[in-house]
Structure 1
Amino acid sequence: MHLLSLGVVFGLAASALTAAVPHSHIVHEKRDATVAKKWVKREKLPADTRLPMRVGLKQRNLHRGHDLLMDVSHPESPNYSKHWNSEEVVEMFAPEQSTVDTVRTWLIDSGIDASRITHSDNKGWLAFDATTEEAETLLLTEYHLYGHVDGHMTPACESYHVPKYIQEHLDYITPGIRLLAPNKRRSKRTFRAKNGFAPLLSKAMSGVLAQTSIDDLSICDQLITPACIRALYGIPEVPEYPNNQPRSDNSLGIFEDGDYYAQEDLDLFFTNQTRGIPAGTHPVPAFIDGAQAPVPVWEAGGESSLDFELAIPLLYPQTVTLYQTDDLYNTFSKYPPGLFNNFLDAIDGSYCTYSAFGETGNDRMPQLAPSSRRVKQLIFSEPLSIQPTPIPLVFKASYSVVFTNQQRQCNEFMKLGLQGHSFIYASGDLGVSGGGPNENPIDGCLGPYGSIFTPGWPVNCPYITVVGATKIYPNHTVYDPESAVVDPLFDPWSIPYSSGGGFSNIYPRPSYQRDAVQNYFGRHDPGYKYYRGNDSFGANGGRYNRLGRGYPDVAANGDNIANFIGGYFTKNGGTSASTPIFASIINRINEQRLNAGKKVLGFLNPALYNNPGMLNDITNGSNPGCGTEGFRAVGGWDPVTGLGTPNYPKMVKYFMGLP
């Protein structure tokens, strides 16, 4: 679905002025100028440019969402693992019919023909396409093209107005004030070299690698292989299945956007680093908006290669399902890029049923994400599609986006948790500074002096499981305790890297982590001034919100990972590596629970915090950023490595003992 034609955008802008705002209208949203420091306001959009308008309706019962999710997720609840189906979730949170009718009538009375307005399957959105002239008349605003420093383009306005009687029925409208630039969590460094080895590896190390078997654990402090991961966390090499066959309804879901794998890389990795995984093994495609993969080896991306080269060896012969959003052309040429909006659209079905620009559903390729109507049958599911495909119960992602509709998306993760899905995300690679990898330290931090720690998104949402990164320090072994990742900038091609962590400015501390975080503050003084709640943001020189949701929740190894990208051997790293490791473990445990006649784990955090002894506590390292050392890893939960790294045998014993 082409959401914006840039060829039209670059045409001559119309010179019409926004009409005077009548007393019957009120500003619904206005952008804070400080959030647009990396954007340049460009030409006004031509009047005939067509925009995909989406109206977010106020939903019912969201205040009950947390308690409802805890009821099916806390191991001491009598309703543990009794997950809801999608119809039950829609019914609980759907907007009041009066809200739908009032907003629809306003749109029709404002000149939007009723036949152009569609209602999403989850009942939370009204969608229609409109010209810029129609949108400006409707919202009493002006749309301009905005350019980001990374080259990304998006249409937006500085503010918009709605009738006063309408305001109580709306969350927000897009395109609106949001400047959406994707911020993919990039690996902290990648070394490439011909002939199989990276140039920065010593000749001695290259010789060792050339003569080392895939089971050798002596080099794990220099290169993390699948054998190292299994040894670190006690993971059996071959999962046990009844009749030696994995289930067909349990697949690990991995989200990718703007980054694509090459089959040649996977085959090189399977041949050189694993046994028993045949060449040609690949993820199951579940493409959204015309995405295409694999790609030629020279177009391969590090994120996808890293994900599949970590997950498949830990799961095989279980499958991995690829939720690829968009193809290469559209990822960089249209608004908005896939990111979580397209993914969540596919989950609730509104994407597939929304028509605009002469297209309905997917663009070009007749492949979509699976139907949410099948959620109750799956171990992680999702939306109405042309070709319904089961969605895995466990889902991993390592991407982020900075925007102001975080609460709306966070509530969607809550709803999916109610349906039994486990969403697992990377905590980020810049410690407490939270900005993109191309930003300087001040730009990555908050406040006028760049001194306030920056919580990431979506990792500050309390309804997902966030994974930080650890490493084996030099001259240590897989049998020694790991440490938090701290890798400073050391060459022109590297990215300074430390495990993301901190405290949310939006979400208060959830009940499931109350005792763990209180214990952290009671026993360990981080050494920084703090503020209490976003209403007192930065007060008295505070660097972080003492009352916010803490993250990460857990950790796993994310440094010096063996990897093939673009046909070359590399070492790679990032919390993007830690996340598929943890997600694969959860998927294997789900397989065992299903085979035992039990339900899948769903939202993990209440159980993890209820029994932290099944994780390896990490007590060394920190996550520097914003000109500080950041937080330190200490005994118990900490905002660097969370509760710790997985201990697979203990996790299996605990989770298999739950109903």
Structure 2
Amino acid sequence: MVSTHPTLDSIDGGQAPVNTSDAGGESNLDFMLSIPIIYPQTTTLYQTDDLYYAEGGNGSTGGIFNTFLDAIDGSYCTYSAYGETGDDPGLDPTYPDPNGYQGQLMCGVYKPTNVISISYGEQEQDLPAYYQERQCNEFLKLGLQGTSIFVASGDTGVGGIPGDGTANGCLRNGTVFSPTQPNSCPWLTNVGATKVYPGRTVFEPESAVVDLAGHPYSSAFSSGGGFSNIFPIPSYQADAISTYFADYNPPYPYYYNGQYNGTDGLYNRNGRGIPDVAANGDNIAVYLEGNFTLEGGTSASSPIFAALVNRINEERIKAGKGSVGFINPVLYQHPEILNDIVNGTNPGCGTDGFSCAPGWDPVTGLGTPNYPKMLKLFLSLP
């Protein structure tokens, strides 16, 4: 029997696998959903940073993804943009680490896979704009080189995690919607979450996920979505967002250019929209820490969508073509290859959040994948 265990690319002292009792729910969920879809293709785990920094380090590190990007692109280690060169000494881990990994910072030691799925993130408010803008340029570079990057859009609707900044994770005294990071970078594909109605089948229309606390998870869960306070609307998304505002205008006051202080606005009217697409993310059966249980979240949706694109890459390569790379422009030009989701909301910040609508919306994006239609279109492209 061929092993399905992921290949480990350890970065700066990252360790895996671990004892069953210490299994991480995020990675576990990603692999259990993606491997059955892409098998017998293999998977790679990029395990980043030594235990000292993974557990919070000296308390000063709040950055994310930079040491990972260093390892798959050596030029990023010294790349200068937005007033910063290389990693941020106050936000990112520094190596050698006298408390852990004692080697040099790993730069360009691994090749990026054709598809990367990320189920981790923060809120835009957690990091300086310059940090996110420099990093976003690297995501663009990877996309142009043929790597498709998918990111879970978040599980707290239009807000952030409670206790993150304010009691309910929202901005300006807990009222303004809080965009997720790195999701707001326009060169990533954000994936929201849907669910199948009780008593229905997957062949019937789905809904955006809205689960109350305790049903079935300990915390409330709704599909992350909204508009960036840092990045403007990208050109490929402009028509979709314009149509959404014209036909299904949200019932909330808004502001422009990310400037919410001094206004009564709740969201940025000219920010990059989140998410781009969606996939099932509710009531997922998993085996974790030696037990069968249920998990869910956009952390399930992202690897599902990413795995289907990996299958498409496989067929394109068989046909003598390359990987699809950054796919958002194609998706927005051809929404017919996705199943439009028109029911559901993503509550947060004391509101019902945004509502699903025909076409793109800031809850489930353009919709869920229709693999036969996606495969046919992408095989027709150069």
TM-score by length of 1: 0.52
Deviations 1:578-631, CA, capped at 9 Å, x for gaps: 000000011110111111111211111000001000000000000000000000
Given candidates 507, 511, 517, the residue that maps to 2:241 is 517
Deviations 1:163-203, CA, capped at 9 Å, x for gaps: xxxxxxxxxxxxxxxxxxxxxxxxxxxxxxxxxxxxxxxxx
User: Which residue in 2 is equivalent to 1:146?
Assistant: none
2:39 is the counterpart of 1:316: yes
Given candidates 392, 399, 418, the residue that maps to 2:113 is 392
User: Which residue in 1 is equivalent to 2:161?
Assistant: 436
Distance 1:526 1:351 in 2: 39
Whether the 8 Å CA contact 2:278–2:364 is kept in 1: the answer is: yes
Give matches, 1:373-388, under 5 Å. 383-385=107-109
Distance 2:20 2:140 in 1: 38
Given candidates 286, 290, 300, the residue that maps to 2:23 is 300
Whether the 8 Å CA contact 2:70–2:108 is kept in 1: the answer is: no
Distance 2:364 2:68 in 1: 28
Whether the 8 Å CA contact 1:321–1:391 is kept in 2: the answer is: no
Letter of the 2:38 partner, please give it.
L
User: Which residue in 1 is equivalent to 2:141?
Assistant: 415
User: Which residue in 2 is equivalent to 1:65?
Assistant: none
Give matches, 1:107-122, under 5 Å. none
Give matches, 1:258-273, under 5 Å. none
Whether the 8 Å CA contact 2:191–2:275 is kept in 1: the answer is: yes
Deviations 1:296-327, CA, capped at 9 Å, x for gaps: 11111111110110010111100111101124
Cα deviation, residue 423, structure 1: 1.0
Given candidates 607, 617, 620, the residue that maps to 2:330 is 607
Deviations 1:239-260, CA, capped at 9 Å, x for gaps: xxxxxxxxxxxxxxxxxxxxxx
Deviations 1:247-287, CA, capped at 9 Å, x for gaps: xxxxxxxxxxxxxxxxxxxxxxxxxxxxxxx5852001111
Distance 2:56 2:175 in 1: 35
1:352–1:453 Cα change, 3 Å: closer
User: Which residue in 2 is equivalent to 1:455?
Assistant: 179
SS at match of 2:171: coil
Letter of the 1:363 partner, please give it.
Y
1:420–1:532 Cα change, 3 Å: same
1:359–1:492 Cα change, 3 Å: closer
Cα deviation, residue 384, structure 1: 2.7
TM-score by length of 2: 0.88
Letter of the 2:158 partner, please give it.
V
Whether the 8 Å CA contact 2:281–2:298 is kept in 1: the answer is: yes
Distance 1:439 1:300 in 2: 25
User: Which residue in 2 is equivalent to 1:627?
Assistant: 350
SS at match of 2:44: strand
SS at match of 1:287: strand
1:588–1:357 Cα change, 3 Å: closer
Structure 1 unmatched runs, 5+? 1-277, 370-382
Deviations 1:63-91, CA, capped at 9 Å, x for gaps: xxxxxxxxxxxxxxxxxxxxxxxxxxxxx
Given candidates 466, 485, 497, the residue that maps to 2:221 is 497
Whether the 8 Å CA contact 1:284–1:320 is kept in 2: the answer is: yes
User: Which residue in 2 is equivalent to 1:589?
Assistant: 312
Distance 1:339 1:312 in 2: 25
Larger Cα Rg: Structure 1 or Structure 2?
Answer: 1
SS at match of 1:479: coil
Give matches, 1:64-75, under 5 Å. none
Cα deviation, residue 539, structure 1: 5.0
1:493–1:554 Cα change, 3 Å: closer
Distance 1:325 1:359 in 2: 14
SS at match of 2:230: strand
Letter of the 1:445 partner, please give it.
C
Distance 2:192 2:285 in 1: 19
Give matches, 1:469-618, under 5 Å. 469-490=193-214, 494-534=218-258, 536-538=259-261, 540-618=263-341
Cα deviation, residue 390, structure 1: 3.6
User: Which residue in 2 is equivalent to 1:641?
Assistant: 364
Letter of the 2:305 partner, please give it.
F
| Residue identity (%) | 57
1:531–1:656 Cα change, 3 Å: same
Letter of the 1:400 partner, please give it.
G
SS at match of 2:121: strand
Distance 2:356 2:56 in 1: 42
Cα deviation, residue 329, structure 1: 4.5
